[in-house]
Amino acid sequence: MNSETFAKLRAKLGKTQKVLAVLLGVSLKAVQSYEQGWRPIPIHVERQLYFLLVNQRGSGHSRRQDCWTLKKCGRKKECPAWEFQAGHLCWFLSGTRCKCTEDKTWKDKIAICRECEALTSLL
Task: Express each pLDDT in 20-61 by its tens digit.
Answer: 999 999 999 999 999 999 999 999 999 999 999 888 876 655
Residue type, 19: V
Helices (H) and strands (E) in the chain — how many of each? 8, 0
Model pLDDT, residue 36:
96
Q: Which CATH superfamily is domain 3-54 in?
A: lambda repressor-like DNA-binding domains (1.10.260.40)
- pLDDT, residue 96, reads 87
**CATH 1.10.260.40: which residues of the chain?**
3-54
pLDDT-derived band of residue 88, with 50, 70 and 90 as boundaries?
A: confident
Q: Is 96 exposed, middle or buried (0-12, 13-18, 19+ CB in 10 A)?
A: buried
